[in-house]
Structure 1
């Protein structure tokens, strides 16, 4: 069946899905840890950490990409050891595109997980403690299942947002077809190409559909999980 997309366009779609999925895989566990720290922790500098975590939401994505370039470039304080010692080069690579996307979507997961965690009734954890459950047992059997809707909704929302990330990716990973040219970058390239309006329109419609589908899926998962846990 003819889908109307060329091989190059499908390549951009597949790369976008790959980058978004890898970005969520990279950021999910750290985001859960940070959300726990911000929701339950009481320590000096907590407000500063909260601000730093949400910084990618308020600064221009190009600035985030530029900072990543300084840190993870082949001469950067993190990128140089990775390249020299392990042969890992993130800049201008698919891995770099996933890293930039992960940084941009990280606050979305943290916010969602934190909201889910703040909705957990402390009385349930206290009851488990009186029954002899240790801290790890309480987390695995009480806290984690109750915050699961926030985790899943945050992961799906971050995935959907990752499909549309542009500024940080193009700054840090560039716009290399087959390597870092995700769907938004392919749309940008099409708009800069004479006669590329039809391609841009096809990809824009597809991007819109994927974003809407991701957001609807996040809402569906959250509602289903709340119902399963008896909180809907």
Structure 2
């Protein structure tokens, strides 16, 4: 498992790394990646946290099916996900045709399309993290607050959210990292246009065919981000001092 990663480090063009990473096209791809991953994480926060609460707390027929649909992008091949987005939001898609006709809104092969593709594949990481947090939260504290006269909104703000905040932060970081590294759905749904839809993974793919040294340099950036995420979340996954 470590050998491929060591190979990247061994073959990395360390002396020319600064020059390769300072290229204007590389910087544009990096900026676009950071912006789109952050936007996708924000959308996932708005949609994913309420959805996780429903999956954890609601009790209705079909919740199991809803959970399976939400988690499907975790196991769905990214290219298939991109094709599904294209069939749904493309100009001739089920919803895309109406967005184009009524609002003049076109999502495929745009920066907004990148954000949509990244949200589709990354939001399940936030949902599954938050669902577990909501399930493990102490309901007794919420009931005690309600007994003392706190409204549902006050209970959510003062009790529930502080309890799940560590998991929320972990879920957001995982979601952001997954969005940053997304390739298959992005290239299928949004294309690979420099300055518009070419994110870092797509830039690596392009550079691999024309400049392998640049591809390795770009891969180092993504590798560094991945290592930072894993190190930062280590205490959320591994037992320390007898606790989780």
TM-score > 0.5, shorter chain as reference: yes
Root-mean-square deviation (CA), in Å?
1.7
Alignment of 1:173-212 (within 5 A): 173-193=190-210, 196-212=211-227
Matches of 1:213 and 1:66, distance apart in 2? 31
The answer to whether 1:35 aligns with 2:56 is no
Mean Cα deviation higher: 202-211 or 79-88: 79-88
The answer to whether 1:128 aligns with 2:152 is no
Cα pair 1:152 1:218 within 8 Å, conserved? no
TM (normalized to structure 1)?
A: 0.90
The one-character-per-residue Cα deviations of 1:17-59 (angstroms, maximum 9, x if unpaired) are 1110110111112100111011001100111011000000111
Cα pair 1:24 1:159 within 8 Å, conserved? yes
Cα shift at 1:119 = 2.1
The one-character-per-residue Cα deviations of 1:90-123 (angstroms, maximum 9, x if unpaired) are 1001110110000100110001111221221111
Cα pair 1:159 1:214 within 8 Å, conserved? no
Cα pair 1:108 1:158 within 8 Å, conserved? yes
Cα shift at 1:128 = 0.6
Aligned counterpart, 1:45:
62
SS in 1 for 2:18: coil
Cα shift at 1:81 = 1.9
Aligned counterpart, 1:226:
none
Cα pair 1:114 1:150 within 8 Å, conserved? no
Aligned counterpart, 1:96:
113
Cα shift at 1:218 = 4.3
Matches of 2:229 and 2:191, distance apart in 1? 25
Aligned counterpart, 2:87:
70
4+ residue runs of structure 1 moved beyond 6 angstroms? none
Aligned counterpart, 1:20:
37
Cα pair 1:163 1:211 within 8 Å, conserved? no
Matches of 1:93 and 1:217, distance apart in 2? 32
Cα shift at 1:145 = 1.3
Aligned counterpart, 1:85:
102
The answer to whether 1:213 aligns with 2:228 is yes
Where does the alignment leave 5 or more consecutive residues of structure 2 unmatched? 1-16, 238-242
Aligned positions, number: 221
Alignment of 1:112-127 (within 5 A): 112-127=129-144
Alignment of 1:163-174 (within 5 A): 163-174=180-191
SS in 1 for 2:93: coil
SS in 2 for 1:3: helix
The one-character-per-residue Cα deviations of 1:134-190 (angstroms, maximum 9, x if unpaired) are 222111111111111111111111111111100000110011111111111011111
Aligned counterpart, 2:179:
162
